Structure 1
Amino acid sequence: MHGAEAISPIMKDALVILGAAGIVIPLFARFRVTPIIGFILIGLLVGPYGLGRMVIEHEWLSYVTITDQERLEPFAEFGIILLLFAIGLELSFKRLWQLRRLVFGLGALELLVIGSLMAAILSMMGQYWTGALALGLALAFSSTALVLPISGTNTPVGRAALSMLLFEDIMIVPVIFLLGALAPFAQEEGAVSLMDTLWQGLLVVFVMMVAGRLLLPRLFAQAARTKSPELFLAASLLVVIGASLATAFVGLSPIVGALIAGLLIAETEYHTEVEGIMEPFKGLALGIFLITVGMSIDLATIWNNLWLILGAVVGVLTLKAVVTGVLLRLMGARRSTATETGILMASPSETTLIVLAAATNALLIQPGTAQFWQIVTAIGLTITPLLALLGRHVAGRVEPAPSLEEMDGDSGTPRVIIVGFGRVGRLVAQMLDMHGKAYVGVDADADLIERARREGYYAIYGNAMRSDALDRLGIDNAPAVILTMDEHVLAQRLVKKLRAARPDMPIIARARDSFHAAELYKSGASTAVPETLESSLQLSEAALVDLGVAMGPVIASIHEKRDEFREQIREEGALESKPKLRTSTAES
């Protein structure tokens, strides 16, 4: 054998995938575009409907194409399992309990209402009612794999999306059993099998939770003592694969086991280490899944049925966005949150493909119908990042950020100016507000400011280096200015500008380290706070308290050490700012 035949198909596919990852991730990161679209486009290019069509005429293309999509499906499934495992690591049982109203209230309503409406519309269009119900439920699912990485889990949009997606993940198995029961050849044993799966599944989940709480801390403690990253990785993979196989063995979805495994490890002190070790594998496996999505898109079929497919895509997206947004509003969400979440959750899911396959196997829909909706699903998954951008834009139009006058009618109040309104700036604003101190935040990132104002922060868009922006901020009567930006040189320039405008005003600046702090003092800062110094002091405080030292003496010593370091840094800055004596051999 020679040529492509001499190479293992799995090795060849691995080479294509790794090459795609090496190109897509840096290229799209350079242009600040999510790599999700890049992976799907790579799948479209190298798949059986792309360059794979030309392998017979050009044999060399077999080295850079993937002609058998089924070979990648196990890896894609493993990617989804790792994703759910990672989501579990970010959650906790306490947080899930807090979300129970949204999960079983909003999540159930979203799936049932959208599924019923889709089924009714498809039934009126001529689809038999069992097939219409199968398609409606399939299209009601949204993509866990794409939505949560985009939205996160800590924002209002992320929390709403997480609650609905968790319920959908729980309902995968009951929906598939329901389709089996609706099959023309189904008998009474369908309901019996469902009940058997439910009680066996509940038993396995209970055993996993009890055993996990007892065994996992010991397992990871033993792995940690060896100080071997390989053993830590092996233990992590053992847990997630074992949990997935346990739930799959009794008929539940393996992603349920992966989610529970993540939740159990999140309760241990080793969850951060596990999350860091698993992150690269999760990203690569998710990329494989996205490549398989791109490989399922047949551009020739799309072109031949262009308007019908576009109509189906627009119809599904519109219905899901409207229903999800309305349900969120009824549950008390803000208009902007409901709008952004509804649009983000509008596309079908990777689970849709699973349910379509189950419906086809049960003879509820024809293979041609399944292929049509698979293409619609693939297109929906491809444009999910664009839906996220559209959602943010429309949310800003639906509920514009309130004006500063609406947020606080007393515009003449002297305010502390916070320059830089990212994570650190918001925390400073929260603390000032907690103690009744008026503030105004400023940042040159328009999206950041718009989102902050929608969340109730008093902030404006502007470049603090401009004199007119300083006047607008009220620099003449500001009690103080706090600089939280991370730009080294810009912070120094701004401190000099502020000190020239207000020689007597306190200027508190964030510094990277003691050297940066000394430069800020030299430029005129009243106080410079080095991040490295504060983290060291906080670490010392936590260690002393845990060692049994009383809190009072610890706090006093921390304050004393902080003052000592600040005085030392000020002296260094003052020495550097003094003119140096020039000497020469002639003068001496």
Structure 2
Amino acid sequence: MHGSFTVALILLATTVFAVALFRVFSLPPVLAYLMVGAALGPHAAGVVPDSAQARYLAEFGVVFLMFSIGLEFSLPRLFAMKRIVLGLGSLQVLGTLLVFMVTERLLGMGWAASFTVASIVTTSSTAMLSKLLVDRMELEAPHGRQVIGVLLFQDLAVVPLLILIPTLSQPADTLLPTLGIAALKAIVVLALILFIGQRVMRRWFLLVARRKSSELFMLNILFITLGLAWVTELAGLSLALGAFLAGMLISETEYRIQVEEDIKPFRDVLLGLFMITVGMTMHRPVIGDVTDVRRVDAVFAEHRPDIVFHAAAHKHVPMMEG
């Protein structure tokens, strides 16, 4: 008990100092969280152990961040952004995938390894980029909307990528049916969420608000956010996408501002914990190995399941966005 309390105290003190220092130099606090995790994590000072429980708790920070971003959008506004999501998003994903695949092939990598590495490079961290936009108050700027649109497309593109990578060594005739089933499941789930949500959300919130209980109101927000995130994850999509849809549906009700104020403290603290846990995974020898292109094929051949899993985790929790 005393050991855990001491670790928590050291972590909090270091984080407060690091964030304050980075603010003085006008640097984003995201970097401070990452450096705290890297410095105190198991691969450096070892003050904070690599805890699965901490990582699971940190995932809630990403969920609530994407939920709060969803509150800034509505379904009509999302449809108005279809050119950004589908046009700019597909251009970024396909263009980056092609450029990196060709580059890696020229460097002598195999097709399977080059496609896997290119897929990982193509996607961005939804949590980190969204947090930077929020901190810099650029979410409503034209480039902010473009970034969010691209991140949403990346969240959708991750589904076929994660299906393709493990099946690279399998017969081609099994690939199309697998992709088709996954795409159909994702479309049906998203359509049901949007169709039912638009018709139920306002009435449900009105029913909860009539009870005039702040505790019930907050529990209702948690239930809707985590519930939709869980549904999209079951469909093979990301937790972040489900949370974004939950926020977007609630944004069409008159309770948007109250909801945003209620979740902000939880979101910021848990998102900071997420960034720290990401920093804890930074391991200098591993980074050095990845920079040696000649060894990527060997690493891929030996650890392909691990590579796929961790790439999905960082995108979905990512996911990432982005």
Please give the TM-score of this superposition, normalised by the length of structure 2. Answer: 0.82
Paired residues of 1:20 and 1:39 also in contact (CA < 8 A): no
**Equivalence map 1:183-582=2 (5 Å):** 184-185=169-170, 188-299=173-284, 305=288, 309=291, 365-367=301-303
Q: Is 1:100 matched up with 2:98? A: no
Separation of aligned partners in 1, 2:208 and 2:196: 18
Paired residues of 1:116 and 1:137 also in contact (CA < 8 A): no
Out of 48, 59, 62, the residue aligned to residue 66 of structure 1 is 48
SS at match of 2:49: coil
Separation of aligned partners in 1, 2:286 and 2:154: 30
- Sort the Cα spacing of 1:66 and 1:210 in 2 relative to 1 into closer, same or farther, 3 A: same
- Sort the Cα spacing of 1:16 and 1:270 in 2 relative to 1 into closer, same or farther, 3 A: farther
Aligned residues: 304
- Sort the Cα spacing of 1:23 and 1:249 in 2 relative to 1 into closer, same or farther, 3 A: same
Separation of aligned partners in 1, 2:54 and 2:170: 32
Bigger-Rg structure (1/2): 1
Paired residues of 2:228 and 2:242 also in contact (CA < 8 A): yes
Separation of aligned partners in 2, 1:166 and 1:79: 18
Q: Which residue does 1:45 correspond to in 2?
A: 39
Q: Which residue does 1:156 correspond to in 2?
A: 142
Out of 164, 168, 171, the residue aligned to residue 157 of structure 2 is 171
Displacement of 1:18 after TM fit?
A: 4.3
Displacement of 1:276 after TM fit?
A: 1.2
Separation of aligned partners in 2, 1:214 and 1:102: 27
Higher RCO, Cα 8 Å, sep 6+ = 2
Indicate the larger mover: 20-29 or 207-216: 20-29
Paired residues of 1:82 and 1:282 also in contact (CA < 8 A): yes
Paired residues of 1:17 and 1:288 also in contact (CA < 8 A): no
Q: Which residue does 2:320 correspond to in 1?
A: none
Displacement of 1:240 after TM fit?
A: 0.8
Q: Which residue does 1:90 correspond to in 2?
A: 72
Out of 115, 136, 139, the residue aligned to residue 118 of structure 2 is 136
Separation of aligned partners in 2, 1:16 and 1:86: 29
Displacement of 1:198 after TM fit?
A: 2.3
Paired residues of 2:65 and 2:131 also in contact (CA < 8 A): no
Q: Any gaps of 5 or more consecutive residues in structure 1?
A: 53-64, 313-355, 379-588
Displacement of 1:204 after TM fit?
A: 2.1
Paired residues of 2:197 and 2:249 also in contact (CA < 8 A): yes
SS at match of 2:43: coil
Corresponding letter in the other structure for 2:107: M
Displacement of 1:188 after TM fit?
A: 4.8
Corresponding letter in the other structure for 1:238: F
Which structure is higher in strand share? 1
- Sort the Cα spacing of 1:123 and 1:73 in 2 relative to 1 into closer, same or farther, 3 A: farther
Corresponding letter in the other structure for 2:193: M
Displacement of 1:24 after TM fit?
A: 3.9
SS at match of 1:103: helix
SS at match of 1:51: coil
Which structure is higher in helix share? 2
Corresponding letter in the other structure for 1:229: S
- Sort the Cα spacing of 1:15 and 1:209 in 2 relative to 1 into closer, same or farther, 3 A: farther
Separation of aligned partners in 1, 2:78 and 2:187: 17
Q: Which residue does 1:117 correspond to in 2?
A: 99
Separation of aligned partners in 1, 2:113 and 2:6: 39
Separation of aligned partners in 2, 1:17 and 1:34: 19
Identity %: 30
Please give the TM-score of this superposition, normalised by the length of structure 1. Answer: 0.47
RMSD (CA atoms):
3.3
Out of 36, 57, 61, the residue aligned to residue 30 of structure 2 is 36
Displacement of 1:235 after TM fit?
A: 0.8
Paired residues of 2:50 and 2:280 also in contact (CA < 8 A): no
Separation of aligned partners in 2, 1:14 and 1:172: 35
